[in-house]
Chain A
Amino acid sequence: MKFDRRYILPGLLILLFLIVAIFPGMFAPYSISDRTATYQAPGADHLLGTDNMGKDIFSLLIYAARWTLMIGFASGLLAVFVGTAVGLLAGWRRGALDEFLMGTTDIVLILPKIPLVIILAAYLGPSPWVLIFVLGLLSWESIARVVRSKVIQIRSSEYILAARCLGFSDCRIMFKEILPVVFPVIVPKFVLVTAAAMISEASLAFLGLSDPQTVSWGGMISDAFTYSGFLRGMWYWWLPPALCIILGVLAITSLAFIHERGVREVMQL
């Protein structure tokens, strides 16, 4: 298989974000509890200046990578898990169960997500775990649909028939025979859900619905907006986290797009 060079740039970017997220201590000059003079301009001591609490913005930026990526990937994983299970079951069993599961999928699709997450986060308290849980459980519907249509496509193929004739259990057929075929469709969807979760997280944090104990890029922008970072013209406060969100989402999405194009090319052969 030929390696696609278009993967390199977004791949490297994501790798960089991941390394920074896992080992923030190696890159950040200060810890997030260190405080100095407030509202400093960028300089030799503080690469991006300091915020309203006197914290080093560059260090915050680095520590924030962890929660933003964590929330994105964890809710992406949860969505993949639920969506694949629903799609497999609905596509394999058909009938009333299919009708019920797809009805549920439609309903989840209609629910306005961001207002729903806002009201849930307001009641349940702004913990990152609540966010992961809610975002994950609200974004599986597109995965379920794709998986279902793929399963319906292959369930009548001969090798599945052979497996059934050999007397393999439904469970085994689903996991050993169908799942590997469905997998390539799931990957780009996982990536897109992750990107969408990162965007949602950034939006919620902007509203102030993020745990004050955890730093995230959206939370930094929110702080800059509420604590007069804008009126002071401190672009070095809100622009770097904004760029990080945009670059992260862009890198992740472009992976999905390249992959999907690859799939399409293979299908046409």
Chain B
Amino acid sequence: MNKVLARKLVRYAVCLLIVVLLVFLLPRCMPGDPVQCLVGEDVYLTQEILDSVTAKLGLDRPLFEQFQIYIGDLFTGDLGYSYTRHQNVADLIWDRLPWTLLLTGMSMLIGYAFGIIAGTWSGWMTEKKRAKIMTGFGVFVSCIPPYLLGLIFFSVFVYQLGWFPYKGFYETPDFFSVVYHMALPVLTLALFVFARNMIIMRGSVLTEKNQLYPQFAKSLGIPRRKIIYGHVMKNAILPILTHFAIDFGFILSGALFIEIIFSLNGLGRVMYTAVLNLDYPVLSGLFLVIALMAICANLIADILYGIIDPRVKRGDDQ
């Protein structure tokens, strides 16, 4: 396992390096004034401030020295300063991140739990009409971009029926207010996560079904429910873990878009205004943080995989 994990760690390190290099090089290699590319295009600053930015980031020095300064800043948690918002980028992201993680975490919890169970069931009962309908529904939902699903829900449940509030959180977020505001966004994202996992799980159970051990278990007289949810599901869950690593970035981006639709107070709105104002420091910071989270998710998935599947630990798989 150590060898496999070590190889993966090298890949993650390279991936992180590429991300950092990208964020570092993009503004500096764009045609035009790098200072303007680093502070954002739509802000007007006095020459004094521009000079101080140049001095702070060492823009008049060679590229390698600039990189050293940049890495040093990153290690002290300095992601730059947004001149459009007049705020530290790190503070801004740190402030909003919990809300985005709450939305993502809740939706993933619900979506994964129901998706795995429903996928197992519909993979086992492929011939049943209800299973077919459910599979069709899953394919349909996973073909809709998450933000469109959010728009449709917003217009039906908020605009037409008025069941949920128009805008995000209030100043003092007490428990019921948060639940009231988060219910529909969480439901939207959870539905999306559910659909994806259901399809993956169904395919996985289908291949597991043709193996001999479920039949053997059946011949031992073990009840069907126990075979499906105790034995088959445990084996079939591995592809879900593999996909978790890849899907995490996707779900997180989906969460950002859903926050925009429902005017939630998370990173999504930060990203939206940053795109509209071409606020490059914020966009770079966001990208760095999201990439870091995606890499962490991959690492967690690898570790979990090793725990659940002993074959990986022994290295049979590779």
Residues of A participating in the B interface, judged by any CB pair closer than 8 Å: 103, 106-107, 109-116, 118-120, 122-123, 195, 199, 202-203, 206-209, 221, 225, 230, 233, 235, 238, 242, 245-246, 249-250, 253-254, 257
Contacts and interface: CB of A to CB of B under 8 A. Distances in A.
B15 A118 contact: no
Given A110-B245, A199-B145, A257-B139, A209 B275 contact: yes
Interface string B1-19: 0000000101110110011
B283 interface: yes
Contact of A115 (B10, B286, B295): B286
B27 A123 contact: yes
Contact of B148 (A109, A112, A202, A209): A202
Closest 4 A/B residue pairs (Cβ): A112-B249, A114-B253, A249-B143, A250-B143
B270 interface: no
B147 A123 contact: no
Nearest to B142: A253
17 contacts: A107-B14, A110-B246, A111-B18, A114-B253, A115-B253, A115-B271, A118-B275, A118-B283, A119-B26, A119-B284, A122-B280, A206-B257, A221-B148, A230-B155, A242-B151, A245-B145, A249-B144
Contact of B159 (A103, A118, A233, A245): A233
B155 A195 contact: no
A114 B287 CA distance: 10
Contacts of B133: none
Given A123-B37, A123-B280, A208-B275, A254 B291 contact: no
B153 interface: no
Contacts of B155: 230, 235
B217 to A, nearest CB: 23
B15 A246 contact: no
Interface residues of B, number: 51
B292 to A, nearest CB: 10
Interface string B242-267: 00011001101100110011000000
A162 B258 CA distance: 56
A110 B15 contact: yes
A109 B145 CA distance: 20
Contacts of A119: 22-23, 26, 283-284, 287
A202 B30 CA distance: 26
Prevailing SS type, chain B contact patch: helix
B283 A122 contact: yes
Which of B10, B249, B286 has the largest number of chain A CB atoms within 10 A?
B249
Contacts of A111: 15, 18-19, 249, 291, 294
Contacts of B143: 195, 199, 246, 249-250, 253
Interface of B: 8, 10-12, 14-15, 18-19, 22-23, 26-27, 30, 37, 139-140, 143-145, 147-148, 151-152, 154-155, 159, 245-246, 249-250, 252-253, 256-257, 260-261, 271-272, 275-276, 278, 280, 283-284, 286-287, 290-291, 294-295, 298
Which of B10, B147, B280, B291 has the largest number of chain A CB atoms within 10 A?
B147
Nearest to A124: B30
Contacts of B26: 119-120, 123
A66 B295 CA distance: 36
Contacts of B256: 115
Contacts of A235: 155
Contacts of A249: 143-144
A242 B56 CA distance: 47
A242 B143 CA distance: 12
Given A122-B280, A221-B151, A110 B295 contact: yes
B290 A112 contact: yes
Given A111-B291, A254-B139, A118 B145 contact: no
A106 B11 contact: yes
Nearest to B27: A123
A202 B298 CA distance: 27
A142 to B, nearest CB: 9
B287 A116 contact: yes
B151 A103 contact: no
